[in-house]
A and B are shown apart, each in its own frame.
Chain A
Amino acid sequence: EAQVTQNPRYLITVTGKKLTVTCSQNMNHEYMSWYRQDPGLGLRQIYYSMNVEVTDKGDVPEGYKVSRKEKRNFPLILESPSPNQTSLYFCASRKDTGELFFGEGSRLTVL
């Protein structure tokens, strides 16, 4: 089954404790991206990757890092999380014809 898998789905952490949210897709898509969803602000893009070893900033990249060492994986790293990074995060991959495939989301709370 074609899917995008994110882990963890739910996480509560404390300020400053590094964390990684993993994202994996099994559709061989070149393009992957991360979004955060906040009430009243819709989805905002954090980082995207056009292909392996190619990443670029989206609209809200501050406080986040990504890497794309292999095509299927695109982890999101929060080196020193802060409470303003409490949010619902979505990973997505994109087909060549433009459609996005989203993961189920990761709800992060930073205390």
Chain B
Amino acid sequence: AQSVTQLGSHVSVSEGALVLLRCNYSSSVPPYLFWYVQYPNQGLQLLLKYTSAATLVKGINGFEAEFKKSETSFHLTKPSAHMSDAAEYFCVVTFWVRSQGNLIFGKGTKLSVKP
């Protein structure tokens, strides 16, 4: 069965430090992978997506993620955290785009940024 795991429900970093949010998936077919961000009292917004074109994907707000097939991972990184990055981040996996109706959400990682 397909699944997605986000390691760490809470991550705390200092402002200016590297952000690393981990996501691992299991799948027997090539996945489509997404990272979404949820700021307090808001809906989710797309940060970036992987759809097999390039393994290193750049998103908004300086975030990027690398698809590593051998490790079945799609970790989200940002070189230097900003206070405005404090939010909850969700890794989402889907295995087809048109024919498959269901998507699988990770449980989310809440990022705190200390001054």
Q: In the bound complex, do residue B107 and residue A56 qualify as a contact, i.e. CB atoms below 8 Å apart? A: no
Does B101 lie within 8 Å of A31, measured CB to CB?
yes
Binary interface profile of A, 79-111, with partner B (CB < 8 Å = 1, else 0)?
A: 000000000001010001111111111000000
Q: B interface, by DSSP: helix, strand, loop or mixed?
A: loop
The tally of CB-CB contacts under 8 A between chains A and B is: 60
**When A42-B90, A97-B51, A99-B34 are in contact, do A48 and B101 touch as well, CB less than 8 Å?**
yes
Question: Does A45 sit within 8 A of B, measured CB to CB?
Answer: yes
Cα distance A105–B40 in the bound complex, in angstroms: 11
Chain A contact residues, majority secondary structure: strand
Q: How far is the CA of A40 from the CA of B88 in the complex (A)?
A: 12
User: In the docked arrangement, what's the CA distance between A48 and B33, Å?
Assistant: 19
A35 CB contacts on chain B under 8 angstroms? 105
Query: Residues of B contacting A48 with CB < 8 Å?
Result: 101-102
Residues of A within 8 A of B103 (CB): 33, 45, 100
- Kindly state the interface size class of chain B when it binds its partner: 20 to 34
**Is B44 touching A90 in the complex (CB atoms < 8 A)?**
yes
In the assembled complex, how far is the CB of residue A97 from the closest CB belonging to chain B, in whole angstroms? 7
In the complex, whether A41 has a CB less than 8 A from a CB of chain B is yes
A104 contacts B43, C-beta separation under 8 Å:
yes
Complex A-B, nearest 9 residue pairs according to Cβ-Cβ distance, in ascending order? A102-B43, A42-B107, A98-B97, A102-B44, A43-B105, A42-B108, A104-B43, A98-B32, A48-B101
11 other contacts beyond A98-B97, A100-B34, with CB at 8 A cut-off? A35-B105, A40-B107, A43-B108, A58-B102, A96-B97, A96-B98, A97-B49, A98-B51, A99-B49, A103-B43, A105-B43
Report A's interface with B, CB cutoff 8 A. Answer: 4, 31, 33, 35, 40-45, 48, 50, 56, 58, 90, 92, 96-105
